[in-house]
Structure 1
Amino acid sequence: MGIDLKLKQKLYEDLFCRYRKVTQKKLKKYLVIEGITDKNVEITGIDNDFKASLTAYHDFKEKLTDVHLSQNDKENIVLNIVLFGDDKKLLKRRLKKLYPDFTENQLKGLCSLNYSGWGRLSKTFLENIIIPAPETGEVWNIITALWETNENLNQLLSNKYTFMEEVNRYNEGEKKTDISYKTVEELYVSPAVKRQIWQTLKVVREICKVMGCEPKRVFIETAREKQESKRTESRKSRLIDLYKSCKNEERNWISELESWSDQQYRSDKLYLYYTQKGKCMYSGEEIHIEDLWDNTKYDIDHIYPQSKTIDDSLDNRVLVKKIENETKSDIYPVKQDIYEKRKDFWNSLLQGGFISKEKYNRLTRRDKFTEDELAGFIERQIVETRQSTKAVAEILKQALNDSKIIYVKAATVTRFRQDFEFIKVREMNDLHHAKDAYLNVIVGNTYFVKFTQNAVAYIKNDHERSYNLKKLFKSKYDIKRNGETAWKAGENGTIVTVKKVMDKNNILVTRKAYEVNGGLFDRQIMKKGKGQIPIKGSDGRLADIEKYGGYNKATGAYFMLIKSKDKKGKEIRTLEFIPVYLKKDLQIEDNAIQYLIQEKGLKEPEILLKKVKIDTLFKVDGFKMWLSGRTGGQVIFKGAIQLILEKNDVETLKKVLKFVQRKKENKNINLVSADKVTEENLLHLYDAFLDKLKNSIYNKRLSAQLKTLGEKRGNFIKLCIEDKCIVLGEILHLFQCQSGSANLKSIGGPGNAGILLMNNNITGCNRVSIINQSVTGIFEKEIDLLAL
């Protein structure tokens, strides 16, 4: 429970304003001396000691003991120290001019202070965003609200208060009518995110152009919550350590715990079984471990019901007899009779370290959920707090005046996928991005229509309103509001349309073509006589590679399409890379021609295309590929054909890749029955890959791999089941739309199969073209490179 407001203020004044460092020890001592609590008080909600230290407050109290300064004066001095603190003489002159009454010692003391950096929250945000206080109607800013309530910043920015409305109103007043990349540049996000936002804006604009109007709603998927770093100690080790302190017990827990592998402890049922000392959390009866995985006997129950909040953490789950779970239903708090009988057992688990304080509090709590808590549970599904995500939303609001921007949590969409068995395998193709976007619209729109964007109002305006977050999409009732139906219930309802759309694979996929910047070449200097680039071209001595060596592997910025003549005088067309370290000079056509003659040895070169960027889409004899780079006289591509498999093979592939990932983390693990991987399914997936190479577009560029997989099928069958999974993971690389190769050595094939290479001389191709796509791929233009 939180502390009393007056106590919070008193702690601030008596402890934080008195000591630079406030520790838990000092806090406990203070509470005991003041008679607020006894020595056995337990303090939660902080890790170790307090991070806040009020450094500037204490600095001024010590350095300017006899000087009265206003708050603005103090902030101005801090600002000057931040701006000019590196030059102490300049800082001293400025402070002396601003505050002529300061003594020499006072100036010296101030100049010894060091402050750097800028806070993430502006003075405008903290002090100038004003609302009327809910109870008194007095003027309230965020700083005042933090002092006069026990709310944190996120709570103050929730729908419970109107601060966020004022923030949005203030930002809208700063709107720009023209959205350019400069607008994006001003955002407080990383350069990589800025590029993504700009691409998003271009996609939105093109969609609006095609639609002929702005969309009614735009849905933004928000990333999963960042998990706090946790101990890497395995579940098995943790349990063994806990049970070592359990003495005088008849059961030999340690030998029993050691009999299970680390991999088997991945089962939450097994882990919960031992954290509960083998007993049902509600009845206290012994759980028979041989029946642990029999779902007709034992269940994992959620303490906070899933109908009210989606929380699958271990702190919210307990192992119980199925009949106990059915009896409990969605009731919270836990029934009084269960509480009375089991509270001592729960406390013993807490004291022994088997369960957390949070789980204990949830089990023992006697109060029902408050309206604010219920609203908070819903808001976690529809409200976003990340600044970078809000920055995207703000830009979209400026670009789309008539559209409503709505957040959708990634975890909510994941649960929808699981509920309706929409399998997602990221490594298989790029189409999952579009399908995720579609599901975000479906899920986000349903939540919006059901709860609006104000969960507080939804809960408080109608106390009788019922909802079930777990069964929101499997309820027998339609979800509608104000004449709009977002979700039609039942097997013949909206889910029919969703399944049809999810089965479609005619999805446009584009990549942003780009010019390479950055590193010019390998940093390691080669020995004399080796290398491609002189150590220093402007120095006559170091320019001699034969004597001093040089840099190797010049980084390519882009390619040029060149027409020239071969030794016999026949016209040829080649793709020639332009190195990053020369790209400025070669923008001048005469310089580029000289480079092509002298460095590339081309005869009568003519530039047909001045820039062919990385990730440009090529179509070579009907096979689409993205330009990736070069090696020697060859050009490297990555496939642009999206792999499509039957549903049963997708399921197998997902299981295979999960195991392969675990195998990388722990080489000693093997498949277990819980992985549900069979020899039959693995062979079926192998044959599906073989069929793709034989009877589809892949045959045009991967025919060599068809020969390998066909001839080595018998070798695959002889492998153990774990090695079969590893090989299938490698075969997948042949079909992925990325640079890479497959290691097929374990079935007798090559170690780098499937690299898409093509001679930079494209003259021998039957047809080779570049496809220039718009940002969405809706518009495109094909250029025949042999006809230019």
Structure 2
Amino acid sequence: MQLGRDAYTGKPINIDEVSQYYDIDHILPQSFIKDDSLNNRVLVAKPINNGKSDGVPLKLFGDNLATGLGITVKQMWNNWADKGLINKAKQNNLFLDPENINKHQASGFIRKQLVETSQIIKLATTILQAEYPKTKIIVVKASSNHYLRNEFDLYKSREVNDYHHAIDAYLTTICGNLLYQAYPKLRPFFVYGQFKKFSSDPKKENEILKKTKNFDFVAKLLGSKAPNEIRSQQGKVLFEKNKIRLQLNKAYNYKYMLVSRDTTTKNQEMFGMTIYPRAERDIAKSRKLIEKRKGFSTDIYGGYTGTAAAYMAIVRINKTKSSQYKVIAVPMTKRAILNKAEKEGNYEKILKQILSPSILYNDKGKRKAGVISFDIIKGKVPYNQVVQDGNKKFS
């Protein structure tokens, strides 16, 4: 991206000395805005980076001559952009002067810090607002939770259990409440539905944007350098780190939490997507294959290993001297037929016809010994459905 040159002096970079003598610097300092993207980072010599402190490159280096190039550092940056090595966002960061930010730039920086852009979050917010029209819904970016996790050493593991979702919800509540109390004038950016009213009043919008010169809103409240107590302009304590730390530690030590999952059925691939070779070329000679396409013999073309399941069914298998309950996979290949049967009101009848071969007969087509018949107990059991059998639960 930098054509082998120091971003602030233009001096050639010795690739063999990168780890020893160079730093990755934030173009716009973190005291100004929290942005760890590649658009806000450059490679520079350590002494230059140490001397930069909280300044911006444009003021400190922009008008200097780039070593050995016969042009200014600003012109060097423009050359990178002209060659397509850096994008417009990075070029804008290099040329930004915090003292002369227009309202569009200010609005963009505020939105980057406080406005959630995820479409699924917007959809969830819309649904909640429709359900609770008198409620103010605060949308919190995940990066805000990240600050609290780092500050309080709150580890997150998706592999152990699903409790991290509950902790994230708790952290979101803490961050949302703090932002709401600490930045009353910026609420239109993170309280659902308020931005439209705010932006339709240019006078009010300009007043707020002109006064805002620092855009690192979250780190100022929740980062490692933030004070233990955050107070409002009226002196009210909005946030006390030690108190919140105790509450979060208590939540982290809960041994059991109720976890709800959305039950679902599948409606995608009909087979396992791996295509295996014909038996004579397959290491597992006994693998039972399904044709890739009608008329394509598995003895010649190989095939898939088995059909995927759309959902499950619970059946009772009646035997000569006993009965047995079993969970059976309902194949994806039969889903369309079963959907039609469900609309026509004969779902269980068609399902029984579909399941009969696998329950009553073996792979060679012979009736299984001792099996008389079977009954459909539950014709459709979606994934993530909890089933209780006596004192045991399954899903």
Name the aligned partner's letter for residue 335 of structure 1: K
1:348 aligns with 2:76: yes
Counterpart selection for 2:94 from 343, 363, 366 = 363
Name the aligned partner's letter for residue 315 of structure 2: L
Instruction: State the secondary structure of the residue aligned to 1:398.
Output: helix
Deviations 1:482-534 (A, max 9, x none): 77644324xx3534433443455633333333455678887733689x9xxxx
Query: 1:525 corresponds to which residue?
Result: 294
Question: Are the equivalent residues in 2 in contact too, given 1:561–1:575 (CA < 8 A)?
Answer: yes
CA shift at 1:554, angstroms? 8.6
Question: Are the equivalent residues in 1 in contact too, given 2:311–2:381 (CA < 8 A)?
Answer: no
Query: 2:221 corresponds to which residue?
Result: 472
Deviations 1:136-178 (A, max 9, x none): xxxxxxxxxxxxxxxxxxxxxxxxxxxxxxxxxxxxxxxxxxx
- Relative to structure 2, which stretch is displaced further, 398-407 or 380-389? 380-389
Counterpart selection for 2:27 from 282, 297, 303 = 303
Instruction: State the secondary structure of the residue aligned to 2:30.
Output: coil
Change (3 A) 1:340 1:604: closer
Question: Where do 5+ consecutive residues of structure 1 fail to align?
Answer: 1-238, 240-274, 531-551, 627-788
Query: 1:398 corresponds to which residue?
Result: 130
Query: 1:614 corresponds to which residue?
Result: 383
Change (3 A) 1:346 1:558: same
User: What is the alpha-carbon distance in structure 2 between the residues aligned to residue 398 and residue 448 of structure 1?
Assistant: 21
Instruction: State the secondary structure of the residue aligned to 1:454.
Output: helix
Deviations 1:554-578 (A, max 9, x none): 95653133152x23x2343334555
Deviations 1:348-375 (A, max 9, x none): 3543646556545543455724362334
Query: 2:4 corresponds to which residue?
Result: 277
1:454 aligns with 2:188: yes
Deviations 1:594-641 (A, max 9, x none): 759965435264554454443322467987542xxxxxxxxxxxxxxx
Instruction: State the secondary structure of the residue aligned to 1:305.
Output: coil
Counterpart selection for 1:445 from 161, 177, 199 = 177
Instruction: State the secondary structure of the residue aligned to 1:407.
Output: coil
Question: Are the equivalent residues in 2 in contact too, given 1:516–1:558 (CA < 8 A)?
Answer: no
CA shift at 1:396, angstroms? 1.1
Change (3 A) 1:428 1:591: same
Name the aligned partner's letter for residue 230 of structure 2: I
Instruction: State the secondary structure of the residue aligned to 2:43.
Output: strand
User: What is the alpha-carbon distance in structure 2 between the residues aligned to residue 390 and residue 526 of structure 1?
Assistant: 48
User: What is the alpha-carbon distance in structure 2 between the residues aligned to residue 320 and residue 367 of structure 1?
Assistant: 21
Query: 2:278 corresponds to which residue?
Result: none
Question: Are the equivalent residues in 2 in contact too, given 1:381–1:408 (CA < 8 A)?
Answer: no
CA shift at 1:467, angstroms? 6.6
CA shift at 1:399, angstroms? 0.7
Query: 1:339 corresponds to which residue?
Result: 62
Change (3 A) 1:560 1:621: closer
User: What is the alpha-carbon distance in structure 1 between the residues aligned to residue 14 and residue 308 of structure 2?
Assistant: 66
Question: Are the equivalent residues in 2 in contact too, given 1:328–1:334 (CA < 8 A)?
Answer: no
1:573 aligns with 2:322: no
Instruction: State the secondary structure of the residue aligned to 2:34.
Output: coil
User: What is the alpha-carbon distance in structure 1 between the residues aligned to residue 11 and residue 267 of structure 2?
Assistant: 67
Question: Are the equivalent residues in 1 in contact too, given 2:230–2:238 (CA < 8 A)?
Answer: yes
Deviations 1:114-151 (A, max 9, x none): xxxxxxxxxxxxxxxxxxxxxxxxxxxxxxxxxxxxxx
User: What is the alpha-carbon distance in structure 2 between the residues aligned to residue 444 and residue 554 of structure 1?
Assistant: 42
Question: Are the equivalent residues in 2 in contact too, given 1:558–1:611 (CA < 8 A)?
Answer: yes
Query: 1:510 corresponds to which residue?
Result: 260
Change (3 A) 1:286 1:520: closer
Query: 1:646 corresponds to which residue?
Result: none
Instruction: State the secondary structure of the residue aligned to 1:299.
Output: strand
> Which of these two proteins has the greater Rg computed from alpha carbons?
1
TM-score by length of 1: 0.34
Query: 1:562 corresponds to which residue?
Result: 316
User: What is the alpha-carbon distance in structure 1 between the residues aligned to residue 264 and residue 63 of structure 2?
Assistant: 67
Change (3 A) 1:376 1:308: farther
Instruction: State the secondary structure of the residue aligned to 2:76.
Output: helix
User: What is the alpha-carbon distance in structure 2 between the residues aligned to residue 285 and residue 593 of structure 1?
Assistant: 74
Counterpart selection for 1:315 from 28, 35, 39 = 39
Question: Are the equivalent residues in 2 in contact too, given 1:303–1:318 (CA < 8 A)?
Answer: yes
Deviations 1:669-721 (A, max 9, x none): xxxxxxxxxxxxxxxxxxxxxxxxxxxxxxxxxxxxxxxxxxxxxxxxxxxxx
Change (3 A) 1:342 1:427: farther
Question: Are the equivalent residues in 1 in contact too, given 2:313–2:327 (CA < 8 A)?
Answer: yes
Matches within 5 A, 1:60-139: none
Question: Are the equivalent residues in 2 in contact too, given 1:371–1:460 (CA < 8 A)?
Answer: no
TM-score by length of 2: 0.61
Name the aligned partner's letter for residue 450 of structure 1: A
Name the aligned partner's letter for residue 171 of structure 2: L
Question: Are the equivalent residues in 2 in contact too, given 1:561–1:574 (CA < 8 A)?
Answer: yes
Query: 2:168 corresponds to which residue?
Result: 436
CA shift at 1:444, angstroms? 2.9
Name the aligned partner's letter for residue 324 of structure 2: I
User: What is the alpha-carbon distance in structure 2 between the residues aligned to residue 604 and residue 392 of structure 1?
Assistant: 47
1:487 aligns with 2:239: yes
CA shift at 1:315, angstroms? 3.3
Change (3 A) 1:616 1:348: closer
CA shift at 1:332, angstroms? 3.9
Matches within 5 A, 1:599-610: 599=357, 600-601=359-360, 602-603=371-372, 605-610=374-379
Name the aligned partner's letter for residue 396 of structure 1: L
Deviations 1:62-95 (A, max 9, x none): xxxxxxxxxxxxxxxxxxxxxxxxxxxxxxxxxx
Instruction: State the secondary structure of the residue aligned to 1:340.
Output: coil
User: What is the alpha-carbon distance in structure 1 between the residues aligned to residue 33 and residue 264 of structure 2?
Assistant: 44
1:497 aligns with 2:247: yes
CA shift at 1:404, angstroms? 1.1
Instruction: State the secondary structure of the residue aligned to 2:140.
Output: strand
User: What is the alpha-carbon distance in structure 2 between the residues aligned to residue 360 and residue 527 of structure 1?
Assistant: 57
User: What is the alpha-carbon distance in structure 1 between the residues aligned to residue 13 and residue 267 of structure 2?
Assistant: 63
Instruction: State the secondary structure of the residue aligned to 1:472.
Output: helix
Matches within 5 A, 1:101-250: none
User: What is the alpha-carbon distance in structure 2 between the residues aligned to residue 594 and residue 317 of structure 1?
Assistant: 63
User: What is the alpha-carbon distance in structure 2 between the residues aligned to residue 615 and residue 283 of structure 1?
Assistant: 59
Question: Are the equivalent residues in 2 in contact too, given 1:479–1:487 (CA < 8 A)?
Answer: yes
Name the aligned partner's letter for residue 229 of structure 2: D
Instruction: State the secondary structure of the residue aligned to 2:313.
Output: strand
Question: Are the equivalent residues in 1 in contact too, given 2:39–2:90 (CA < 8 A)?
Answer: yes
Question: Where do 5+ consecutive residues of structure 2 fail to align?
Answer: 67-71, 190-197, 199-203, 272-289, 300-305, 361-370
Instruction: State the secondary structure of the residue aligned to 1:404.
Output: coil
Name the aligned partner's letter for residue 137 of structure 2: I
User: What is the alpha-carbon distance in structure 1 between the residues aligned to residue 92 and residue 327 of structure 2?
Assistant: 68
